[in-house]
Every structure is written in C-alpha cells, then in structure tokens.
Copies of this chain bind each other. A is one copy, B any other.
Amino acid sequence: MQSSANKKHAYTRTLDFKTGCVEMMHGSGGRAMAQLIDQLFMTAFDNDFLRQMNDQASFTSSGGRMVMATDSHVITPLFFPGGDIGCLSVHGTINDVVMAGAKPLYLSAGFILEEGLPLGDLKRIVESMAAAARVIPVPIITGDTKVVERGSGDGVFITTTGIGMIPENVFISSERAKPGDNILISGTIGDHGIAVMLAREDFAFQSSLESDTASLHDLVSVMVEAVPGIHVLRDPTRGGVAAALNEIAQQSGTGMMLFEERIPVKPAVSAACEFLGFDPMYVANEGKLIAVCAPEDTDKLLDTMRAHPLGCNAAVIGEIIADSHSFVQMKTRFGGTHVVDWLSGDQLPRIC
C-alpha cells in the first residue's frame, strides 16, 4: 500500500507546460489523463457543471433536468469482432447519457475523415451508427464532416454528443457512494478490450471472443424503474473497472473492498490476459456498467439486472467502505489483499 501511495504521489506533481509533451498515457483513462484534465481543462473551463466530475453533465431546463455527454472515438481497427467505430460511437455516448439514469433524446455526430478512406468503409460505419441509433431509438439530429490530408488522421474519428432527460425521482451521481453500499457489475469484464487487441495483432491463438459493445439504455431503464434510489452508475470503458471504481471512490470520498472470486471474467478473456500480461480489471468494456446501491436495494437490483439480456451475468463484486485515502482494495482468491490502483501507463491505446 505504501508503494502504491508513493506512486500516487508521484503523479500529483504539476504538469510541465513549458517543455512537456502530450504522451499516449494522457489518453489512457489512467491518472495521467486525470491529471491533465484537472490541471488544464478543469482550471481553464472552471464551472459547477464540470465540477460534477461525472462522464456527463446535467443541467436544468424549464422542462426538467437534462444531460449532455460527448465522446470522441478513435479506435483502431475501425472494424473489430462484435462491432465497429460506428456503432461504438453511438453506444459510447448513449451509455454516458444513461449513466445519469436519463432517457436519451438526441445525438449529434462530428466526423474527421482521412483522405483516402474507402467510401465503402465509411458507408458501413455510418450505417452501423444509424442502426445502433435506431434500436434505442435516438435520432442523430445534426452533424459536421471534416477531411484531413492522408497522414494527418487515421481513417475516421467520430465525436458524438448526446442529450437526455432525467426522471424526476432519480439522482444518480458518483459522489453518492456511501460506506455499506454494495457494488454491482452487469456482466463479464474485459471482453471489448481483448477482442479489439486480438483483432489488432497477429497472435498465435485464435479466439471467437467479441466486443461487448452495446447500448445500456434499456438495462438502465428497468434498473431505475425497479430501484429509483440507485446511488451511482458508471460504465467501465477506457481504463476498465479499475479506473471507474477509483473515480467513484475519489468522487465520493470512500474506499472499496472487492472480492476477486466474484468478478465475472470469461475463460477466453482470462487466458488472453494471462498470455498478454494484462489484468482484466484494466481492460475496456463497452456494454457493461457498475452500479452502487444501498444494502436494502441490492437483491432487487441484482434480480432486475439478471432478468435483462445485458445483465444476465450480473454480480455483487464488493462494497463501499470508509477510507479517507479512497483506496480500492481487493481480496484475492488466495486470501491476500492488494490495492487496485489507477492505471499509470497505457495498457491498450485507442480502444474506443
């Protein structure tokens, strides 16, 4: 724990704006990115909405509380088992919108295309986006297209922004985690990251593993209906479950105790992680969510999740504890305890 605390400390130093450079780890979902956001964007844009520190920002219109979320998608390869950058760019932003318990209403999309991208590929991507949006359903109501020279982009980047409306009785936010609360996950972890990784490289072993990319609007809708008092929802994308839990711990000023044997991981993901030297806790998911709720709501929430196709492998993986250091700890299969720290480097760049 001490070494971990020291490591934490090493990353809290002030960024060097005079001679430093943006590095890959600034986009990794780990601490270096949090540091960049904190020391640069939070400082410059300073307002109450950004300080909510959720993946979406809620605001009040005279018609009710609404939510706006944005995500830029730069995944490589553009097509991967189980999905592509098109459907991913819808799922990614919609999932950020619904993590506030909101009903998604509208999407916008900004495309940055590289000269030389085959139009057929672009068509596949755009149709995949349209299909993903249609099943929710949420219309893509406005957009923009830019083209950059060959070598100044990488095929296509897609930035989507979503707007949603929050039901009156729902108040979901990461700072609401309280000691005694339970931590639930909606299914197996690491599927997306490993599927994309295996699609990217020529590995010695074949796998039928697919990304879990999916829109969580319907799962969230039934969860919120069953338990309007859910405290926290968060989708563990870049940086994996480890990053999402550390964000919740930090924002709520609590600690966590996880139980390794309760965390659902597909055997194929476990095997690939062992082979590649990865920890599934740090691998990205694109169709999973973490929920935090009061102990008395846990059974009902878990049953509701398990009754939904996207939550059939849901599990209670740990609990919120009092800890002024906001450490996320894990009891291992072998009885030991270790800290599940923020990712400090970049395990899998361009995963979403």
Set B33, B117, B139, B145: member contacting A37, Cβ < 8 A: B145
When chains A and B are docked, how far (Å) is the Cα of A116 from the Cα of B105? 37
* Max chain B Cβ within 10 angstroms of own Cβ: one of A17, A28, A146: A146
Cβ of A148: which chain B residues have Cβ within 8 Å of it? 27, 74, 154, 157, 350
Scan residues 114-169 of chain A and give those whose CB is less than 8 A from a CB of chain B. 114-120, 122-123, 126-127, 129-130, 133, 139-149, 151-154, 157, 159, 161, 163, 165
Please name all residues of chain B whose beta carbon is closer than 8 Å to the beta carbon of A127 when the two chains form the complex: 44
A27–B113 touching, CB < 8 Å: yes
A18 within 8 A of B: yes
Is A242's beta carbon under 8 Å from chain B? no
Determine whether the beta carbon of B116 is less than 8 Å from that of A22.
yes
Q: Does A110 contact B (CB under 8 A)?
A: yes
Interface residues in A212-265 (C-beta closer than 8 Å to B): none
B-chain residues with CB within 8 Å of residue A55 when the two chains form the complex: 142
Using Cβ atoms and an 8 Å threshold, which residues of chain B touch A23?
Answer: 115, 147
- Chain B residues closer than 8 Å to A145, beta-carbon distance: 26-27, 33, 36-37, 41, 72
A44 x B119 contact (CB < 8 A)? no
Q: Is A45 an interface residue (CB 8 A)?
A: yes
Closest beta carbon of chain B to A247's beta carbon, Å: 14
The segment out of A57-65, A275-283, A311-319, A332-340 that lies at the interface is A57-65
The residue in chain B whose Cβ has the minimal distance to the Cβ of A22 is: B117
Cβ–Cβ < 8 Å partners of A26 in chain B: 113, 145, 147
Judged by a CB distance under 8 angstroms, whether A286 is at the interface is no
What residue in chain B is nearest A119 (Cβ atoms)? Answer: B20
- Measured between beta carbons, the chain B residues less than 8 angstroms from A165 are 61
A123 smallest CB distance to B (angstroms): 5
Cα separation A189 to B6 with both chains bound (whole Å): 58
Among A15, A161, A165, the most chain B Cβ lie within 10 Å of the Cβ of A161
Interface magnitude class on chain A: 35 or more
Find out whether the CB atom of B61 lies under 8 angstroms from the CB atom of A139: no
Q: A116: which B residues are within 8 A, CB to CB?
A: 21-22
A155 to chain B, nearest CB (A): 9
Given contacts A40-B123, A61-B66, A72-B159, contact A149 B349 (CB under 8 A): yes
A161 to chain B, nearest CB (A): 4
Is the Cβ of B159 less than 8 Å from the Cβ of A50?
Answer: no
CA distance A70 to B162 in the complex (A): 11
Residue interface bits A89-122, CB-to-B below 8 A is 1, else 0: 0000000000000000110111111111111101
Taking the complex as formed, is A347 at the interface, i.e. its CB lies under 8 A from any CB of chain B? Answer: no
3 closest A-B pairs by beta carbon, nearest first, are: A27-B147, A63-B63, A62-B63
Could you list 27 examples of A-B contacts with CB < 8 Å? A17-B120, A20-B120, A22-B114, A22-B115, A24-B115, A47-B139, A49-B106, A50-B141, A50-B143, A57-B106, A59-B141, A61-B64, A68-B142, A70-B109, A71-B110, A72-B111, A72-B112, A72-B144, A72-B145, A73-B146, A74-B148, A108-B161, A112-B112, A112-B159, A146-B350, A152-B153, A163-B163
